[in-house]
Structure 1
């Protein structure tokens, strides 16, 4: 039996594929390569195509004995989602509908969904818990919430069980040094900071230092990408053991401030990394962190790479060896 990983050539998807392969699982990857990288897929069978293409997905399901799906395929830039919401509802929501319909057609009843803590919007409290109100403030978060709701109805109508994992920021790179983070454009804080010692930018920006936090800068959750991959594998295990559909937050429980991340990057790289403070960005909450108590209790998930220096160190190792991303390997 094989596991289908949609978006498995992307950042978190490729790390999850690596974890599945390490557990001797049969893996089938579907990725359009619009954002993913062929070189990031370390094994299994790769099909290049779009999950909205019915004939293509019939081929994937027809040629493989698929037991379960881990679903990453989605657009995920918050700013872009606000400028082009139609793209996000088409690719994310309609794409998920197409996937669920094919799963139902071929009798595949288990799906692990890579969701986002952006489904909560402005938090009522921190750390955020799974029972808190969901009220997204951007189109990206709205599409992910719609995808979750769709899965609930497919569970009700067709007994398709799902686990949805909500989290904020993935960071770092695999310890094997073969896969890491390569986005264009790059919007994530840690790789943007590391572009300074790589000589790709002169300084890093800090948007506001007057927040009600200890050092005045925003606090966010950061989890090592391999710990997130572990969570997806554990969620799959839960479904295979007959678990009911569920939602889990994945978070550090404490978070890190922007200044803490920059200081850690200075320690790891030995580079001064100049920082320039500018005005706050509209809509940036002071603190966004999630409670992972439920995931730890029910999935047995325990992050193994919680140190900020370890997270940034793994990312720095990847970027030093691959300054042009996966193009460095060509």
Structure 2
């Protein structure tokens, strides 16, 4: 349950998902919103987070903060992905438990499913096989977070922690760092820069054959508020959130190049890893509760490309 007067903390409010949640809450008239950037609150600092919760007493927390990235970042900095996400989750979960936060929205990742999982991936497929090695550090942290959420709920007899697993999130205000961003945002920036610099070709990692599902940040924000409004129907499980369709990386690259207007050559470096062959989520469990998707992928992708063009000088790179 939630209402307009609830004190709501959006952790990671400047990021892709956090900013979408903040906009959704503002649009729906929530009036008691709490935000804190890294200069105000270091979420990996257990003591600082405990003091922040003691002072602010949030009723609801959206934990949209964390270290995220694509295959390059995960392969290069696995310890950072593990350490930072584990620290944030531990600090926020324990503070929320200690200071009687009513609900925490926690977001897992589709990379916590087995690398060669049956498609589409059902919640019951979780932890039934080995995960993709290139994202092992990040996946391990997210697995720990999902297990922690279920464990707190089970041990203390409440439904405080709500766990959603969205597939690859995209949209305005994404991280467009070429090494540390997800594939979709990285491709948008690479093709835009290739166009403005008139580069004859763009070299891309892997074979282009893996298929990925992308869900717009606004749909994940919508699903999050829907979950809060229907807590009495939620089980102590995680729920998949996706768009219901996937696309090969090659087709995605060609589509983005077309939207951007880049007509150079696409070169696939097959010495680089592909990652999991396919990651499509089965969302029937959450859809059965009554939530509906709103963002068409073609329109969402075009609007994200347009956003990058219009905001290129101030895009987030980290």
Q: Same fold (TM over 0.5)?
A: yes
Change (3 A) 1:262 1:82: closer
Q: Per-residue CA shift, 1:23-66, capped at 9, x if unaligned?
A: 11222123426xxxxxxxxxxxxxx2112334533443244342
Indicate the residue corresponding to 1:155 in structure 2. 153
Indicate the residue corresponding to 2:230 in structure 1. 238
Indicate the residue corresponding to 1:176 in structure 2. none
Q: Give me the whole-angstrom Cα distance separating, in 2, the residues matched to 1:307 and 1:82.
A: 28
1:284 alignment partner, one of 266, 275, 279: 275
Once the two structures are TM-superposed, the CA of residue 16 in structure 1 deviates from its matched residue by: 1.1
Change (3 A) 1:107 1:254: same
Q: Give me the whole-angstrom Cα distance separating, in 2, the residues matched to 1:287 and 1:30.
A: 36
Q: Compute the TM-score of the two structures, normalised by the length of structure 2.
A: 0.83
Indicate the residue corresponding to 2:110 in structure 1. 117
Q: Give me the whole-angstrom Cα distance separating, in 2, the residues matched to 1:27 and 1:200.
A: 42
Change (3 A) 1:10 1:260: same
Query: 1:161, 1:244 within 8 Å by CA — same for their partners in 2?
Result: no
Indicate the residue corresponding to 1:140 in structure 2. 138
Indicate the residue corresponding to 2:192 in structure 1. 197
Q: Give me the whole-angstrom Cα distance separating, in 1, the residues matched to 2:118 and 2:181.
A: 26
Indicate the residue corresponding to 1:108 in structure 2. 101
* Structure with a larger share of its residues in helix: 2
1:225 alignment partner, one of 210, 214, 217: 217
Indicate the residue corresponding to 1:306 in structure 2. 296
Query: 1:136, 1:142 within 8 Å by CA — same for their partners in 2?
Result: no
Q: Give me the whole-angstrom Cα distance separating, in 2, the residues matched to 1:243 and 1:208.
A: 39
1:131 alignment partner, one of 99, 102, 124: 124
Indicate the residue corresponding to 1:87 in structure 2. 80
Q: Give me the whole-angstrom Cα distance separating, in 1, the residues matched to 2:307 and 2:313.
A: 10
Unaligned runs of 5+ in 2: 1-5
Please identify, of 216-225 and 111-120, the stretch whose mean Cα deviation from structure 2 is larger: 216-225
Q: Give me the whole-angstrom Cα distance separating, in 2, the residues matched to 1:204 and 1:160.
A: 48
Indicate the residue corresponding to 1:18 in structure 2. 23
Query: 1:254, 1:289 within 8 Å by CA — same for their partners in 2?
Result: yes
Unaligned runs of 5+ in 1: 34-47, 174-179, 210-215
Once the two structures are TM-superposed, the CA of residue 194 in structure 1 deviates from its matched residue by: 2.4
Query: 1:88, 1:139 within 8 Å by CA — same for their partners in 2?
Result: yes
Once the two structures are TM-superposed, the CA of residue 113 in structure 1 deviates from its matched residue by: 0.7
Change (3 A) 1:284 1:5: same
Once the two structures are TM-superposed, the CA of residue 217 in structure 1 deviates from its matched residue by: 1.9
Once the two structures are TM-superposed, the CA of residue 9 in structure 1 deviates from its matched residue by: 1.6
Once the two structures are TM-superposed, the CA of residue 243 in structure 1 deviates from its matched residue by: 3.7
Once the two structures are TM-superposed, the CA of residue 255 in structure 1 deviates from its matched residue by: 0.1
Once the two structures are TM-superposed, the CA of residue 79 in structure 1 deviates from its matched residue by: 4.6
Matched, 1:270 2:264: no
Once the two structures are TM-superposed, the CA of residue 191 in structure 1 deviates from its matched residue by: 2.6
Once the two structures are TM-superposed, the CA of residue 251 in structure 1 deviates from its matched residue by: 2.0
Matched, 1:29 2:24: no
Indicate the residue corresponding to 1:4 in structure 2. 9
Q: Give me the whole-angstrom Cα distance separating, in 2, the residues matched to 1:129 and 1:280.
A: 31
Change (3 A) 1:157 1:323: same
Matched pairs, number: 299
Q: Give me the whole-angstrom Cα distance separating, in 1, the residues matched to 2:57 and 2:120.
A: 40
Q: Give me the whole-angstrom Cα distance separating, in 2, the residues matched to 1:52 and 1:207.
A: 32
Query: 2:16, 2:171 within 8 Å by CA — same for their partners in 1?
Result: no
